[in-house]
Amino acid sequence: MLEVKNIVKYYGKHKAVDHLSFSVDAGEIFGLLGENGAGKTTTFRIIMGLLDATSGEVMLDGKPIDYSMTDHIGFVTEERSLLTKLTVKEQIIYYGILKGMDEDTIMVELEKWLKRFDIPDYMDRKIKELSKGNQQKIQFISAVIHHPKLLILDEPFSGLDPINVKMLKDAIYELQQEGCAIIFSSHQMEYIENFCQKLIILVKGKPVVDGYLKDIKKAYRKKTVLLRGEDLPFEKIEKIPGVISIKPIRDEYELKITDEQVAPKIFAAIKNSNVTKFDVTEPTLNEIFIEKVGNVHEK
Amino acid sequence: MKNKFWFLTKVSLKRKVGSKWFVVVNVLLAIAIIALVNINSIITYFGGDFNQETEVLVKDTTNRAYDVFQANIMADNNTDTEEETGKITVQSIVDDEETIKENLQNDQVLVILNEDDNQYLSAQIISNEKIDTLTYQMLVQSLNQTKTALALEDHQIDPAVLSDISRPITVERLVLNADNNADENTNLIMSTVFPTIILPFFMLTIFLVQMVGGEICEEKTTKSMEIIISNVSPQVHLGSKILASNLFVLLQGFLLVLYVVIGLAIGGIFAGGSSLPGEIANVLTELGATGLMDKLVYLIPLALILLILSFIAYSLVAGILASMTTNMEDFQQIQTPIMLLSLAGYYLAIMAGMFEGSPLLRILSYVPFLSCLVSPSLLMMGQIGIIDVIIAIVVLIIFIAFLVKYGLKIYKVGILNYSNEKVWKRFAKAVKTKDV
């Protein structure tokens, strides 16, 4: 479906994207992570054909992306990209026709989406009169109304309450089921963890983590042990090689360890204490992100 | 892509024409223009001191001039009644002069008609306060006509013979150099009439620049530009804005002309016919006498070509400048030089009559943005020929081609740029890129 091949983008002397490659297949959700200025938006703009890469290429279905192919791509930008003076209907028709749809089809689809998002009466409301959350729903509709093959979601949940987040999540899953390839970008790691099978973490335009989420987590050796109990021998635990830190969190303790081989040693140390919880957990994406990004900054 | 171009053009035009403000502004413009065209009738309708009746008391010491004088006043005021002129009532009075003066009211004028051995008739006009110019002129005119009538009677001269004698000589004027075939009056007429004719063009230019820039700025600031440009190329996008704005401006120009025509028609209906008001008819007659009307056959098409090409150039520059800015305030500032250029063209066109044969004006008539105003005015006055206007058109076409070639590169980079840092460096680099 989508293939990004070794793209490099310079703004003057500044390298915004540094040899980035990835592919997204039909029905796959791909996560693009990075702190602000990491090159995510530049990458999206290159995929959309808004910017030319300094080198490298972007292919959709084996062909370079040009204006004949952008009708098959949907794009939810990070900031609202709506003409606020228009009504919902005018806005969706405007973007829909630019995607090569006819007005009748747009109206049928729009009615369906407005009902689905619980705003069936908003057809003739001006965009500027809508709440931030409802504007985001309209922006989402404008990006998916033409049933794209590829959907780019740049921070799609920003400004949404949990109920609206669920509505959008369900819609995204449905698009995935239909075979849409989805690229997802968010600062909120839990969304990426929930959604994405594959991801890339960009730091200063360079991919520092790349692959399937389960493999990334597996490869990340550091683990966390959650402990709850009484008379826990922390002096003894601290001395076990591989224990990085011990941090109390409410009525529990979070132990960071270098790898899972350390866990049995901790268990052996506490087996005579009154332990009510002993849980070895995978690292969160947030932890991986912070460490990877932090390492690059330190370098 | 072609369909998307027409769609974008249609949407852009619909947004302008379908806006309630377009309707409001045009209703106001129609009222204002129709009112201005008929301002005399409106002022008269609402009344004022100029409608105050004046009673003319005539003391005729000649014993033969009163009847002729009264008839002339009535004829001058175009009234059917014998004693009343609508504004002026004429009354013969026999009291002695001092008594009349003592009892003279503010709305009364005393005219004393006296025999004069040399001039057949002399007169005194006496009033408490200064009488208005129109009434005074009307009285003097009637007195002159009365004097003439008395003299004709004394010398038994047929009025028709006198009319033939006093008729101005018929002069046929021929200037062999067609390009310099301008009457002295042309300059005077040009300096009074031309500013009025070209003012709408100047206004429409401002409309155009504001519209193209405003729309692009809005799409940029709302970030909807990213969605639009991901579906159509920057060339198609800018082209649609230019076409829509130019169509709008031409429509608005047509409507302005229509309002003037409606105003004239209304004035004609209330004046009891469909003819043009006297002042406009006089101006047209004067212009006709200068041979200008013959020039209109080629002047109008050439001026229209220059006008449309200039509109395109203005909108291209407005679009490019708007793409370089990040908000409406910046655009307002950056477009000021363009507005000043247009203003300069307006003043140069007005001043063209004052500097006949100026080489500088001739050169400026070739300069894009100025040419659309300066060239037609110089051609109208015979200071340049058709070939000069054609040169101005060619220069303008080359300028537009230059804008398309290099400006579009700036536009492509500019519309997705939201930073003010190193902006000129960035655009200079964009110009050097190979393709758009």
Domain edges within chain B: 2-40+183-432, 49-166
Structure confidence by residue, pLDDT tens digits, B35-55: 888 887 787 777 665 556 788
CATH tag, B49-166: 3.40.190
ipTM of the predicted assembly exceeds 0.90: no
Of B231, B422, B426, the CB nearest to A70: B231
Chain A, chain B: beta-carbon pairs less than 8 Å apart: 60
Phi, psi of B20 (to 5 degrees): -65, -25
Chain A contacts of B225, Cβ < 8 Å? 81
Chain A contacts of B18, Cβ < 8 Å? none
Structure confidence by residue, pLDDT tens digits, B251-272: 998 998 899 889 888 877 776 5
Q: Residue B291: pLDDT above 80? A: no
CATH tag, A2-217: 3.40.50.300
Interchain CB distance below 8 Å, B1 and A67: yes
Contact of A46 with A10, CB cutoff 8 Å: no
Interchain CB distance below 8 Å, A98 and B7: yes
Structure confidence by residue, pLDDT tens digits, B364-411: 999 998 888 888 888 887 788 889 999 999 999 999 999 999 888 889
Q: What is the pLDDT of residue A24?
A: 93
Q: Which amino acid is at B411?
A: Y
Chain A contacts of B426, Cβ < 8 Å? 12
Q: What is the pLDDT of residue B281?
A: 66
- The verdict on B328 touching A (C-beta cutoff 8 Å) is no
Sign of the torsion angle spanned by Cα atoms B317, B322, B324, B330: positive
Contact of B392 with B366, CB cutoff 8 Å: yes
Q: Residue B189: pLDDT above 70? A: no
Q: In sequence order, what are the beta bridge partners of B127?
A: B109
How close does chain A come to B309, measured CA to CA in Å?
A: 29
Q: Give helix B278-289 / helix B292-324 axis angle, nearest 10°.
A: 110
Q: Residue B247: pLDDT above 60? A: yes
Q: What is the pLDDT of residue A30?
A: 93
Interchain CB distance below 8 Å, A98 and B1: no
State the pLDDT confidence band at B274, using cuts at 50, 70 and 90: very low
If you measure CA to CA, which chain A residue comes closest to B232? A67
Global pTM value: 0.73
Rounded to whole angstroms, the Cα distance separating B305 from B327 reads 33
Architecture of domain A221-282: 2-Layer Sandwich (3.30)
Interchain CB distance below 8 Å, B224 and A83: yes
Q: What residue spans in chain A does CATH classification 3.30.70.980 cover?
A: 221-282
Sign of the torsion angle spanned by Cα atoms B322, B324, B326, B329: negative
Interchain CB distance below 8 Å, A51 and B219: no
Q: What is the pLDDT of residue B188?
A: 62
Structure confidence by residue, pLDDT tens digits, B340-351: 888 888 888 877
Tens-level pLDDT at each residue, chain A (299 residues): 899 999 999 887 888 999 999 999 999 999 998 888 888 989 999 998 888 899 999 999 888 888 888 889 999 988 888 998 899 999 999 999 999 899 999 999 999 999 999 999 999 999 999 998 899 999 999 999 999 999 999 988 887 888 888 899 999 999 999 999 999 988 778 888 888 889 998 888 889 888 888 888 877 767 888 888 888 888 888 888 888 888 888 888 888 888 878 888 888 888 888 888 888 887 788 878 887 776 655 44
- The verdict on A102 touching B (C-beta cutoff 8 Å) is no
